[in-house]
Structure 1
């Protein structure tokens, strides 16, 4: 069997590696649901960087698309939450790596339009364009806008270019969400050296894990942010942070405390909230009330001629059910880690919503010890990320960084796309599996081509090898379940295995690290990926739109064939016209045009698909059987 190269490099970064041609400084970034921050280590002290005013270190995670085509980020975008909600995107972190199915029941929480086409597809966000046609954005593209703003902020502060970063994510983020975060960083012009768990960063910010006396310590990190809650139990051994368990709720945070106040006012005063603008206005007033009640006993304001009032005691009543849910998550996290409250050495508070006095009281009562909240809860994650970045720069030698993969490893998918399975800088040894399926009916063979690199198209990456999974039982496209497993051992040997689950057919290849690429070649590949990130993202978006459209066109043809007996002539003609417009768009180079035509076809055929389902169910009840799908 042919041998192909795959290089490893030590995770312990030397000083001259940290200051190379790719970038001069490694920074820490907290890409948050509500607010984001960037920090760096200066004079052995982690510091969050403020904006032009020199005061506010928080950048609201909000992107606004103005009618004239301008794009605003952060504080500049915030006022448009109430005046132009359909053009103002917030809480985009909740959408990273998510499919439509993942958001079932939660889509109405957003003031903007999340496109609902196929439960298995990753979400897209539709924003009205200057010409009246919708523009479609992925959460990755929107997150990249926020990261670019942070990159500009730190470069202004330092007076030099910054292109290396550590970015934090919740401990519960899955592979798709972590990869989406990496992609957003790359699109923003950042080489993401590490994706670090937020609780690990929080511990580092408090200095836990950097001292000998912290060996064998167990830490609970309670993180209540604007849009999400999670609690993580960590164990520190020999400078290595291990996440023992994590629990939480991706739709529970300070926003929900605000909503509880809004709902109370609406019910108490019988307010009519009939526009998105009013909904945004009362939400902002509720947020003001929550913040004021953390230090004062009461809050009063006016809302369209109505006086709104709230005191701390009533706020506590409103907040209690939500806070109890977080405490239940703490209990589940302890049970999952097979620990008791007595096993916890430190409790760290993270997230702006932990400023609420009732939150601190309930967490203290549950764990039976004083919580550690001496650092600014809004900044703690970013400060920890900056410390991790300082470790990567070789300035702290006591924290162990395991061996890592220098370049991403993945396979070729439809349209020549690179699908990274083991991302760059993953620790080794590691094993990752991902499921795929066939793209045409009756497909019996599947070629698995393995590539190394950071570009979105495989033609721009380095091919390591390929093999063919043969004798797949002929089935309709999308039915076979083919799992691709990558196992990378500590010696740099990559084993790739493909197996079709229904038939048990399998095939594998071993790729050894005997013909390594030089550090100069690797650096060139990384620089290439950064400089071409925007072009790569546009090419990927176009290919993905074409793939999705071709799948829908195939499904449409099958639908017409299977339901010809009851479809009216006009309906068939209309479907044909929509499909033809989509096919014409697929032949072009405009992914937004493809998405618009796709949206039109889906909207027209949705009620017909429901009717077809009803007819099949009725036929089955009568004993006639269900037609093939």
Structure 2
């Protein structure tokens, strides 16, 4: 029977661990007796593939057909290494190395490995995690899932360290060869709870080596009076490799010494210089500061300060640099805890216990006597990890000016996590709608600055009475780091079908405003909407008010023209009167608004009186409008309600909208009637939008409108823009935006 193991697939070195027969986690050494194996792959001259120590030796000898540090490119479709003319992507390199590692460890320890948990940096997103799992699957070993590296280390500490007694808050500082993670966790006797995680996947010991190489080259050039730029331009690949090897060795020497000598024998430059630990730390201070920024961010996201940290754990070979310990000790006030947990082995040990738990293995706790009872899964501390990134979807901003990252599950949410959010969708009873879900992972407000994990489509969304259908999109993030997407109809809770789709290669349309992507005419499809524009024709609107109303209605008609929206016009003052029935022929509406350009009250009033007597007025000055009176006693929603009753429009599949424009306060009787009618109409699915000039009662308009956001006050000069925005919203089916 095979065993389950935990694999720390590191950037520079990897390790494998299992839970032994005594119930304690232990490292499985490789065939050389070492606890770690270099994560290096090489292709020899005969075409054979070598890994681990043999590949590392080839790299040190300057062989160009060697791949390392490929872990930082997991999930990157554009990353390719060419070894002896053959292409290798990061997943292939990882699977090749893992196959070698598993076979080597199995032979050396006389075991058969049939399942494994593989660790990943906490900041890894879904594509990187999936690529890592795929690499493990290709080995033929059953993939039990991934585990965040700092969480694995916290697990190892929580299980093995004598310092773990009692509740405490710890900071896990994980600096490997090519990646950096920092995690804040709370440890208790029964639970290890991760509070926050962050990191930098382009920061690790390799960057310290590079900075030291630059320093050594500078010093050699200065000592020999050479021009640094000239020397650098003449460096061959072999020279660069020589400098890298020397720098790595100098870094290791300075871990235990105050000074050492760097001996460089390259074609372009050679010589020997002395390098002190002070020199090294000064040359790499900027890199250390990058890790301190991440530490501060992790504490801030956990809602903690350094004073609330009880201790820290060092994970990864690069934490052996004295500058790391000095920095953290200065912040925490004491040295690292869990001293009996090797920084190079902690991740693999924690992953081994996690793997055994997932397989239901029983344990005896570390240090227990042989006669002590064995414990099952539930007896060990429960690991509660958290999301390292927010998960959302591409959505339109409320004003439709841009696309945004609409977060559904926030960063640092405990795993497993499920959450949902509602979105408006254009759908009518006769024309079902659809919703595209572009799954995002990341915290940037701009959608395309995050990782687009996948695309899903919710087809055939049934329309409902009213302007919009609302779909509740749900995300579930599992303990195996998979994301499940679901959708339900918000009004009924009915589950909707969710289909997986391919993500387009060109997503540049999301750089535009949503309104720029609106399509005119038949390409968009007709909208089953019917709008009654109700214009206040009381005396206070004469002149400038009517001129502004005329422009506003024109702007609205222009924004819906070609989308099949039916539009009608109603006048109201002391009485209400429909000037034109809703239709797609807007000429009657236009004729009902033409005010002959009057901008002053007196001239407009004089014309209106004459027009009423002679029956020759036009637009807002026609006999119909003048006959409505000059006060504010009428409730336009009363006429709107009766129009719907008379025309029997309630069941014809259209979504009805009452768009009200007024400039003042209504009489008490009109207000009471409007409140009553609005309640009934909204219950029947009618959308009510209340627009006023600064003299109108905004709170009253909010009461009768579908929601507070469907009401607003605008200067005469702003009415055209507001009505245009409303028209675009209706024609696109995206929800009302004013």
Give the TM-score, by structure 2 length: 0.49
- Please state if 1:323 is matched with 2:279: no
Match of 1:497 in 2: 487
Provide Cα deviations, 1:521-543, integer angstroms capped at 9, x if missing partner.
Answer: xxxxxxxxxxxxxxxxxxxxxxx
Which residue is 2:41 aligned to?
63
Aligned partners of 1:39 and 1:47 also within 8 Å: yes
1:284 corresponds in structure 2 to: 245
Any residues of structure 2 matched to 1:172-571 within 5 Å, and which? Answer: 172-208=123-159, 216-236=167-187, 239-270=190-221, 272-273=231-232, 274-304=235-265, 305-372=270-337, 373-392=339-358, 393-395=361-363, 396-397=375-376, 398-399=379-380, 430=418, 469-470=459-460, 487=476, 496-497=486-487, 508-509=496-497
| Corresponding position of 1:144 | 95
Aligned-CA RMSD value? 3.9
Q: Cα 1:69–1:489, aligned 2, differ >3 Å: closer, same or farther? A: closer
Q: How does 1:44-59 map to 2 (within 5 A)?
A: 44-54=23-33, 56-59=34-37
CA distance 1:255–1:183, shift in 2 (3 Å): same
Deviation digits for residues 168-193 of structure 1 (CA, Å, limit 9, x no counterpart): 11222222222111111111222121
Q: 1:359 to 1:445 in 2, by over 3 A?
A: closer
Q: Would you say the 8 A contact 1:208–1:214 is kept in 2?
A: no
Structure 2, unpaired ranges of 5+: 222-227, 364-374, 385-413, 422-432, 438-455, 463-470, 507-738
Quote how far apart the aligned CAs of 1:85 are.
5.7
Secondary structure of the 1:40 match is strand
Q: Which piece of structure 1 moves more, 366-375 or 175-184?
A: 366-375
Match of residue 528 from structure 1: none
Compute the displacement of 1:248 (Å).
2.5
CA 1:324/1:284 → structure 2, altered by over 3 Å: closer, same or farther? same
Match of residue 52 from structure 2: 74
1:97 equivalent in alignment to 2:85: no
Q: Secondary structure at the match of 2:56?
A: coil
Deviation at 1:325, TM superposition (A): 2.3
The CA deviation at 1:368 is: 2.1
| Cα distance in 1, alignment partners of residues 95 and 278 from structure 2 | 41
| Structure 1 gaps, min length 5 | 1-22, 99-121, 404-425, 434-443, 449-465, 473-481, 500-505, 512-546, 553-629
- Asked if 1:165 is matched to 2:116, the reply is yes
SS in 1 for 2:47: coil
Determine the C-alpha separation between the residues in 1 that align with 2:294 and 2:346.
21
Shift of the alpha carbon at 1:71?
Answer: 0.9
Q: TM-score, normalised by structure 1?
A: 0.57
Structure 1 contact 151–162 (Cα < 8 Å) conserved: yes
Pick from 3, 6, 13 the counterpart of residue 35 of structure 1. 13
Deviation, 1:285, is 0.6
- 1:319 Cα offset (Å): 2.9
**Structure 2 Cα separation of the partners of residues 291 and 269 of structure 1:** 20
Conserved? CA contact 2:62–2:242, under 8 Å: no
2:145 & 2:190 partners in 1: Cα distance?
17
Q: Distance in 2 between matches of 1:364 and 1:402?
A: 26
1:253 Cα offset (Å): 1.6
**What's the CA shift string for 1:70-125, capped at 9, x where partnerless?**
11111111133355665221111101123xxxxxxxxxxxxxxxxxxxxxxx2331
User: Partners in 1 of 2:478 and 2:120 — Cα distance?
Assistant: 25
Relative to structure 1, is the Cα distance of residues 369 and 70 closer, same or farther in structure 2, using a 3 angstrom cutoff? same
Change (3 A) 1:551 1:335: closer
Distance 1:432 1:380, change over 3 A: farther
Contact 2:329 2:335 in 1 (8 A): yes
Whole-Å Cα distance in 1 between the matches of residues 461 and 86 of structure 2? 43
Tell me how far 1:316 sits from its aligned partner: 2.4
1:122-144 deviation digits (Å, cap 9, x = unpaired): 23314154xxxx53322111111
Tell me the CA shift for residue 25 of structure 1. 0.7
1:46 offset after TM fit, Å? Answer: 2.2
| 2:15–2:37 contact (8 Å) kept in structure 1 | yes
Contact residue 209 and residue 239 of structure 1 kept, 8 A:
no
**1:268-307: per-residue Cα shift (whole Å, max 9, x none)?**
2126351111111111111111111111222124322411
Change (3 A) 1:361 1:488: closer
Question: Is 1:127 paired with 2:82?
Answer: yes
Deviations 1:368-405 (A, max 9, x none): 222124422111111111222333323343236699xx
Q: How many pairs align? A: 401
Query: Residues 446, 495 of structure 1: CA spacing in aligned structure 2 closer, same or farther, 3 A cutoff?
Result: closer
Three-state SS of the structure 2 residue aligned to 1:509 is coil
3-state SS of 2:284 partner: helix
- Judge conservation of contact 2:153–2:315 (CA < 8 Å) in 1: yes
Q: Distance in 2 between matches of 1:374 and 1:313?
A: 29
Greater length-normalized contact order (CA 8 Å, ≥ 6 residues apart): 1
Contact kept in structure 2, 1:258 and 1:287, CA below 8 Å: yes
Question: CA–CA distance in 2 between the matches of 1:368 and 1:498?
Answer: 52
Name the CA distance, whole Å, in 2 between partners of 1:294 and 1:197.
27
Give me the whole-angstrom Cα distance separating, in 2, the residues matched to 1:255 and 1:486: 37
Query: In 1, are the aligned partners of 2:420 and 2:472 still within 8 Å (CA)?
Result: no
